[in-house]
Amino acid sequence: MPPIYDLLCFSHLRWNFVFQRPNHLMRACSARRRVYFFEEPLPAPEGSPELDVREEGENLLVVVPRLAPGQDPVECSRRALLALCSRFRIQRPIAWFYTPMALEFARDLETDLTVYDCMDELSAFQGAPAALSELERELFDRADLVFTGGRSLCRAKQSSHYAVFCFPSSVDVAHYAAAREARPDPSDQASIPRPRLGFFGVIDERMDLALLDAVAAGRPDWHIVMVGPVVKIDPATLPRRPNIHYLGQKKYDELPAYLGGWDVALMPFAANESTRFISPTKTLEYLAGGKPVVSTPIADVVSPYGEQGLVRISGSAEGFIAAVEDTLREGGLGEKRPRVDALIARTSWARTWAQMDGLINQLLRKKRQAEEADESALTGLIESRVA
């Protein structure tokens, strides 16, 4: 049995935001390792400690540095990291980065292994820090392993590191399969007429708002349900029509109930720099919930899901409307169901984590063997000199 290493995860996403890739993987990791999920600083309420630590499960702690008035956020995070390592006696952990910006305060951390789980092209997102690209290059130099959240992103990053592995986002099949069961609608969705076209996720600069507006205007008898927080864009820019319903952010446990009440699941992403390399987790989540999917032509959705006929694809409003019409006529997954079920049966976050963990343990074994060989050689040299 290999030694158990603590894992320090540096994330730009908060644990209690939309439940997604970091949550799934760190929860799986915590089955065997102590995981510290290190968030960005938040203002400190009066009299609060500089470090908030809370349990989110066995072996899983969420760490929030607390920013005093006038304090530099980088210095705040650096001090919090030192305090955390001292308090919990963390020595040479596995460092797991979701954001290169964490190097600003964590570059001096002594680690046994560094992993960069590159889930998005963050430099293409609205409001990306100017230093992000430079820090990512530094992180590539430091990382022992690089994982990517999709095939397009993997191709874009392969020349940056010698050990880049593609791990597209997976799905909690049992969680979303609940959407296939008959159950009452959530109260804020129950009165919305059918047919219902639904989306859940973050509503931000990646959303094609003009497309949403055109679909709603072209088919006023359809009702579009948007579930999720509005982030980085002005809510006033959202299209407002009687048949578009913004229900706000919901808890992860609530999503299957909303999904179960839809006739078609949507992925109306815009074609821009922020969507060039995305690999939407919701593709598999929608399918696991038994819902047919219509998407704009996102590369990692077109291949493989569009090419396999599991998702309908269109980039124009007219084509999108036609694709939804065809989907409604087909009714549910139709003839796709056996192929969808075969796909999701082979897919799970547990399986994804097991493959990642296998690579981590393999590399840790090689490092230990190299250290033992170096130590043995040094001992032999000393003994030969003494003799």
| 264-305: pLDDT as tens digits | 999 999 999 999 999 999 999 999 999 999 999 999 999 999
Over residues 12-39, mean pLDDT: 96
What fold does the segment set 7-170+349-358 form as a domain? Rossmann fold (3.40.50)
For residue 33, the model assigns a pLDDT of 95
pLDDT band of residue 59 (cuts 50, 70, 90) is: very high
For residue 148, the model assigns a pLDDT of 97
Please report, for residues 93, 104, 119, the alpha-carbon distance to residue 107 in angstroms, rounded to integers and kept in the order given. 13, 6, 20
Give tens-digit pLDDT for 296-315: 999 999 999 999 999 999 99
For residue 376, the model assigns a pLDDT of 59
Q: Which residue has the tokens 């509005």?
A: 230
Q: Is the pLDDT of residue 359 over 70?
A: yes
At 370 the three-state DSSP class reads: helix
Domain ranges of the chain: 7-170+349-358, 173-344
Over residues 320-327, mean pLDDT: 98
Distance in angstroms (rounded) separating the CA atoms of residues 311 and 299: 12
Q: Which residue has the tokens 């397009």?
A: 152
- 228-244: b (≥16 Cβ within 10 Å) or e: bebeeeeeeebbeeebb
Contact 112, 364 (CB under 8 A): yes
Over residues 52-64, mean pLDDT: 96
Rg value, the chain, Cα: 23
For residue 46, the model assigns a pLDDT of 74
* Secondary-structure class of domain 173-344 per CATH: alpha beta
Share above pLDDT 70 across residues of the chain, in percent, rounded to a whole number? 95
Read off the DSSP letter of residue 263.
Answer: S
For residue 42, the model assigns a pLDDT of 94
Name the nearest CA neighbour of 328 among 240, 248, 266.
266
Q: Which residue has the tokens 């409003």?
A: 317
Q: Is the pLDDT of residue 380 over 70?
A: no
Q: Which residue has the tokens 């290493």?
A: 5
Q: What share of the chain is helix, strand, coil (3-state, %, to 5)?
A: 45, 20, 40
Count of Cβ atoms closer than 10 Å to residue 162 Cβ: 11
Q: Which residues contact 326 (CB under 8 A, 6 or more apart)?
A: 312
Q: Is the pLDDT of residue 70 over 90?
A: no
Tell me if 7-170+349-358 shares its fold with 173-344: yes
Give tens-digit pLDDT for 197-254: 999 999 999 999 999 999 999 999 999 999 999 999 999 999 999 999 999 999 999 9
Q: Is the pLDDT of residue 86 over 60?
A: yes
For residue 371, the model assigns a pLDDT of 76
For residue 383, the model assigns a pLDDT of 57
Q: Which residues contact 225 (CB under 8 A, 6 or more apart)?
A: 189, 192, 196, 197, 198, 199, 245, 247, 258, 261, 262
Residues facing residue 200 across a β-bridge: 227
Distance in angstroms (rounded) separating the CA atoms of residues 262 and 163: 41
User: Residue 127 half-sphere exposure, CB side, CA atoms within 13 Å?
Assistant: 7
Q: To the nearest whole number, what is the mean pLDDT of the chain?
A: 93
